[in-house]
Structure 1
């Protein structure tokens, strides 16, 4: 009789333990080892893998200032900015126009008689070189080529003939200074007119800011060159 009571008590105890286990499992979501909700492991943020560094961007300075190099991530994405055919034509024409200005300015260090003129020529090189890179980048970002088939760059405003460039290269001292001022003044006047025209018909905000900078800066340089000869 005693043994029977012991067996009954054992069965009851086992059933009670099983019931307790079931209740515990239901309260813990079915896994006694599951991490509690809101724990550091469950809420720890995951960091995205770092991508490759973006390239630097050359930004033209304001009149009287040199160009600056800025991290690309600081510049807004302009690839979706609205532009029209006049914007594209301006950039395609201004690149060779700037290129000839650099060609003329590069003759000054070994030929100019006036140190102030040599300094001005260096200023032209320092500003227009990066501006060419800016314009090429503008076209590249939009999948556009730099050239237009059949376009004659020699006919652009202010462009100097190859013969005039050769004459300038052969001059020295005061004669070089006189020819340089005349040729670069004409060249700048052409660029100012091209920039002013774009401000009337262009659609791209970045190019409008650039054209305004070109018109302002090169007008100041024209006045400086005239003062040099005066």
Structure 2
């Protein structure tokens, strides 16, 4: 099916019309201050006795980070992720004696090293902000990707190739849950360091999921 050609005169007329609209928009905002005509700019209220300021998107982002005190989402995420990581360590520690595949053993060792270090980092963050680890713990259903007690018992009883397959299945789901939790805190948290820790979880575990999928294949 051929596409009808638009006459050149019509294109020129449309371009001129858009140009006039743009100029009109700039003129109408001339008294509003620099950058007021930019749709992506942000008005920041001034201090008492001072006028409002128009910020670029980059300046607005910096402005929002001036006070990055942890909020409830940040604290809840770090507390839950510590417990989430601890289960991953339990699973990883089973691999040396039960796994058949050297690849699975190597992956489990890496998970133990990385997530163990992340637990230390997160506990330090909680101490720094006076939050402390939640001694009461969290129910499994509140944390995505957590293996049930029955699944953990099944993994502990497995051996050889059966262990390898179940380990990969449970760990992929576990990683997917951690990534979802990290994405949540990036959307709802306020603390820059908590966001950076979430970014690390997303980057590391996304890579490991791809590796585990290859092993299953």
TM-score tier by shorter-chain length is: 0.5 to 0.7
- 8 Å CA contact retained: 2:155, 2:163: yes
Gap regions ≥5 residues in structure 1: 1-79
Q: 2:171 & 2:102 partners in 1: Cα distance? A: 16
Q: 1:174 & 1:186 partners in 2: Cα distance? A: 19
Q: 2:92 & 2:196 partners in 1: Cα distance? A: 25
Task: Confirm whether residue 130 of structure 1 aligns to residue 117 of structure 2.
Answer: yes
- The one of 191, 198, 208 aligned to 1:204: 191
Give CA deviations for 1:25-82 in whole Å, capped at 9, x if unaligned. Answer: xxxxxxxxxxxxxxxxxxxxxxxxxxxxxxxxxxxxxxxxxxxxxxxxxxxxxxx952
Structure 1 pair 151/102, CA: closer, same or farther in 2 (3 Å)?
closer
Equivalenced residue count is 151
- 8 Å CA contact retained: 1:92, 1:148: no
Task: Confirm whether residue 121 of structure 1 aligns to residue 105 of structure 2.
Answer: no
- 8 Å CA contact retained: 1:95, 1:135: yes
Task: Confirm whether residue 229 of structure 1 aligns to residue 216 of structure 2.
Answer: yes
- What displacement does 1:151 show? 3.9
**Residue equivalent to 1:216:** 203
CA RMSD of aligned residues (A): 1.6
TM-score normalised to structure 1 length: 0.63
- The one of 85, 95, 105 aligned to 1:108: 95
Say which one has the larger Rg.
Answer: 1
Q: 2:133 & 2:73 partners in 1: Cα distance? A: 14
Gap regions ≥5 residues in structure 2: 1-66
- What displacement does 1:202 show? 1.3
Superposed counterparts of 1:1-230, under 5 Å: 82-147=69-134, 149=136, 151-230=138-217
Structure 1 pair 149/120, CA: closer, same or farther in 2 (3 Å)?
closer
1:203 match: secondary structure: coil
Structure whose residues are more often helix by fraction? 2
Structure 1 pair 167/207, CA: closer, same or farther in 2 (3 Å)?
same
1:100 match: secondary structure: helix
2:84 match: secondary structure: helix
- 8 Å CA contact retained: 1:195, 1:215: yes
